[in-house]
Amino acid sequence: MGMTVVEKILARAADRPSVTVGDVVEPKVDLAMSHENAALVINQFQEVFQGTGQAPTVWDPSRIAIIFDHRVPAESPKTATNHKKIRGFVAANGITKFHDVRGDVGGICHQILPEYGYVRPGFVVVGTDSHTTSHGALGAFSFGVGATEMASAWALGIAVNIEVPATIKVVVKGEFPPMVGPKDLILHLIGLLTAQGANFKVLEFHGETIRQMSTSGRIAICNMSVEAGATSGIVPGDAETVRYLREEAGVTDAIDCVTPDADASYVRTVEIDVSALAPQIACPHMVDNVKPIEQVLGIPVQQIVIGSCTNGRLDDLAAAAAILRGKKVAEGTRMLVFPASSKIFAQALDQGYIHDFMRAGAVVMNSGCGPCLGVHEGALGDNEVALSTTNRNFKGRMGNPTGEVYLCSPVVAAASAITGVITDPRKG
Amino acid sequence: MANVIITLGNDISTDDIYPGRFMATVLPTETPQFAFFDRTDFNAALKAKAFPPGAVIVGGENFGCGSSREQACSTLKGYDLAVVARSISRIFLQNSINLGLQVVICPGIEASVGDKLEITADQVLNRTTGQAFDQVKLPAARKGIMDAGGLIPYTRARLMARG
C-alpha cells in the first residue's frame, strides 16, 4: 500500500522501508527549534543528565535553532535574564542557528526558519511552539512539542515514541476572488473541521489552488493547521518550494521533494472550491467560530493588528499598505503593524509600505510575536475589541480576559482600520 | 477516590490554564501560582491549598488546546491535580504524560463539583451519581514514558543505556 507524505518522511527518518498509521517510530530529528522557552528546555535538559555521569551535551548543535521572538526586546528583567541564560547556553554548545534580538537577522521563528533555508522538504522538524506546523509549507513533517520533549530531542537526536498519524487530504480548487486569499481558506477549513477535527492527524494539502499558491500563503495555511488540532499541516514539496528555497532562502545544495504515493491511504478527504469564498472572520473566543464577513460587518474595533507568523510577510504588508495608502486610521482605533522578520521589515521599508502605514497613523513595531499572545505589548483594555491577522482568539489571548479578538486577513484588517469597524475590503 | 473541584466546558485553552503573560516564569516550582489565573476564585482556592492531592478537574472536549507551553501542565502538576476530560488536545496530552500529570480521556464523563470520582484502570466511576464511564486508552506509544515516571527519567535511562 502506498504512503502519504508524512508516512514517507517518517519511514525514512526511522530507517524503515515503510510505516503505516499507528506504528510507533523514533525518527531522527533534522531540526529542533525553540524560542524564549529554551530557558525551560535548558532546565529540563540539564535535569536529564543528572546522575548519568555524562556531561550535558546536545546531540548536534548544527541542528538546533533558537530564535528570540516572543518578548523582544525584553519587557522585564525576568525575560532579559532568560535571554541571557540562553545566550550562554548557545555559546557554550556551539549552536549556530541562533537569532538574537537584532534588526538585521532577527524575527519570528516561523519566518526565520524558512527565510534562512533551515527547513527542507522531507525534514523532521520539532519546535517548542504549537505553530511549528508552519514548516509543513516547505514539505517537512513539522510539529510542536513541549519543553521536556525538546530536552529529550536535544539529548538523543530523535523524537521518542511517535505514533504515525493518520492524514486528512485537503484538495483545494478554484481561483481566489479579489480580496480573498490563503488566510480566508484556512479559517474556512478550520470552521469546517472544528478546533479538534484534526487532533492527532495531519492535513496534507493538494489541488490547483495550493500548487499556484506562494510559499508565503502556504506558511499561513500550515501555520493555522494546528487550530484544527492537526499535528502538522503539509504541502508536498514542488516547483514553488524549490523556487522559494533557491531564490529567497539562498539554498544551493540538493533539494529532495517528497510526494505521496498515488495509492496512499487517507482517513478523510475534504474538497474546497475557493472561487466563491468570502472573506472569513474567526469570532471570539474560538478559532473555529468562523463566519463569512457579511455576518459581522460594522462591529467597532479599538485595535487592529497586522503581522505575526501567520500574516506578517511582505505580500501581506503590501496588500495592507495598498489599502491604507493615502488614508487615515479611524479616530478611536489604533493600528499596530509588526513584520514577521527584520528582513521583511527592511524590504517593506524599501518598498515604501512602512511609510504608508506610518502616514496612515499605524504604529510599526519591531519584528516579533508582539500582541498576539498578550505577553509583551499591545494589550487590550477592559472590554476592548481587536481585529487581528494573528492565529488565536482565545479568551485572554491578547492580554486581557475581558477583551475580544476577531481574526481575519491583512486586507480585512486594513480596510477596517480606516473605518474603525469590521469592513468588507471588497467594497472599498 | 477524589473530589471534583471544578467542571469546565469545551475547548479550554492553555491561555486559560496558564495565561501567556506569565510565560517568562518557566520553572515547575514557580508556575503553580498562575494556574487558571483569570479564574480568580479558583486560582485563590488553589493557592490556599483548599484541595488535596488527586483532586479532579473535569473538562469537556479538546481540553488543553492551543499553545505548546508546558507551564499549562506543570502548573497543575504542582498541585498534584488530575484531569478527566472528554477529549484532550495532542500537545497537552503529550506534555502531561511527559511530566507525570494524571490525565484521563473519558468521552462520556458527567460530573458536578463535589462529586466523588474513582479512576480505575479503564473506567471513571462517579460514586456520587453511581454512573460508570469508559476511558479511552492513552496512546500505546506513551506507555514506556509513563512507566518510567515521565520523560526525564525515560530519556535519562536511554542515555545510560547508550553509555
* B 67-126 residues inside an 8 A Cβ radius of A: 67-71, 73, 87, 89-91, 94-95, 98-99
Mean pLDDT along residues A315-326:
98
∠ CA(A148), CA(A19), CA(A262), 5° rounding? 125
Q: What pLDDT, in 10s, does the model give residues A244-267?
A: 999 999 999 999 999 999 999 999
Q: Do A78 and B141 touch (CB under 8 A)?
A: no
pLDDT of res. B140: 80
Separation in Å, CA A135 to CA A184, A231, B3: 19, 12, 43
Mean pLDDT along residues A331-353:
98
Q: Do A196 and B69 touch (CB under 8 A)?
A: no
Count of CB contacts below 8 A, A vs B? 152
pLDDT of res. A395: 93
Q: Which residues contact A312 (CB under 8 A, 6 or more apart)?
A: A108, A111, A306, A338, A339, A340, A341, A344, A367, A389
| Closest CB to A146 among B19, B94, B139 | B94
Among A373-377, A421-425, B84-88, which is the least confidently predicted range? A373-377
Q: Please determine, for residue B163, whether its predicted confidence score (pLDDT) is greater than 90.
A: no
E strands, chain B, in order: 2-7, 56-59, 82-85, 102-105, 116-119, 123-126, 131-134
Q: Please determine, for residue A50, whether its predicted confidence score (pLDDT) is greater than 70.
A: yes
Indicate the pairing of strand A24-25 with strand A162-163: antiparallel
Mean pLDDT score across all residues of chain A: 97
Q: Do A148 and B99 touch (CB under 8 A)?
A: yes
Taking Cα atoms as reference points, which of A227, A280, A284, A279 lies closest to residue A405?
A284
- Give yes or no for a contact between A249 and A115, defined as CB atoms under 8 angstroms apart: yes
CA distance B31 to chain A (A): 12
What gap in Å lies between CA B131 and CA B111, rounded to an integer? 9
Q: Compute, in degrees rounded to 10, the torsion defined by CA atoms A283, A284, A286, A291.
A: -10
Q: Please determine, for residue A22, whether its predicted confidence score (pLDDT) is greater than 80.
A: yes
Mean pLDDT along residues A402-424:
98
Cβ-based contacts of B62 with chain A (< 8 Å): 195-196, 199, 229
Q: Do B16 and A395 touch (CB under 8 A)?
A: yes
pLDDT of res. A428: 62
Q: Which residues contact A299 (CB under 8 A, 6 or more apart)?
A: A385, A406, A421, A422
pLDDT of res. B138: 85
Which cell is B99 given?
511530566
Taking Cα atoms as reference points, which of B68, B27, B146, B45 lies closest to residue A126?
B68
Q: Do A394 and B154 touch (CB under 8 A)?
A: no
Cβ-based contacts of A395 with chain B (< 8 Å): 13, 15-16, 38
Q: Do A146 and B70 touch (CB under 8 A)?
A: yes
Mean pLDDT along residues A333-349:
98
* Exposed/middle/buried for residue A168 (C-beta within 10 Å: 0-12, 13-18, 19+): buried
Nearest-by-CA chain B residue for A232: B90
Q: Please determine, for residue B52, whether its predicted confidence score (pLDDT) is greater than 90.
A: yes
Q: Please determine, for residue B156, whether its predicted confidence score (pLDDT) is greater than 80.
A: yes
Taking Cα atoms as reference points, which of A123, A150, A151, A147 lies closest to residue A135?
A123
Residues written for chain A: 428
CA distance B99 to chain A (A): 8
Q: Please determine, for residue A192, whether its predicted confidence score (pLDDT) is greater than 80.
A: yes
pLDDT of res. A417: 98
Mutate to test the interface with B, among A23, A148, A398 (most CBs of B within 10 A): A148
What gap in Å lies between CA B81 and CA A242, rounded to an integer? 49
Taking Cα atoms as reference points, which of A281, A421, A41, A26 lies closest to residue B158?
A26
What gap in Å lies between CA A28 and CA B72, rounded to an integer? 27
Mean pLDDT along residues A354-362:
98
Mean pLDDT along residues A193-217:
98
**Residue A235 — pLDDT band, cuts 50, 70, 90?**
very high
Q: What pLDDT, in 10s, does the model give residues A70-104?
A: 999 999 999 999 999 999 999 999 999 999 999 99
Q: Do A144 and B139 touch (CB under 8 A)?
A: no
CA distance B82 to chain A (A): 19
CA distance A270 to chain B (A): 21
**Residue B143 — pLDDT band, cuts 50, 70, 90?**
confident
- Give yes or no for a contact between B123 and B74, defined as CB atoms under 8 angstroms apart: no
Mean pLDDT score across all residues of chain B: 96
Indicate the pairing of strand A166-173 with strand A162-163: unpaired
Q: Is the entire prediction scored with pTM above 0.90?
A: yes
pLDDT of res. A152: 98
Separation in Å, CA A237 to CA A21, A207, A246, A260: 21, 13, 13, 10
Nearest-by-CA chain B residue for A126: B68
Helix orientation angle between B151-162 and A147-156, rounded to the nearest 10 degrees:
0
Q: Please determine, for residue A374, whether its predicted confidence score (pLDDT) is greater than 90.
A: no
pLDDT of res. A1: 84
Q: Do B151 and A47 touch (CB under 8 A)?
A: no
CA distance A112 to chain B (A): 19
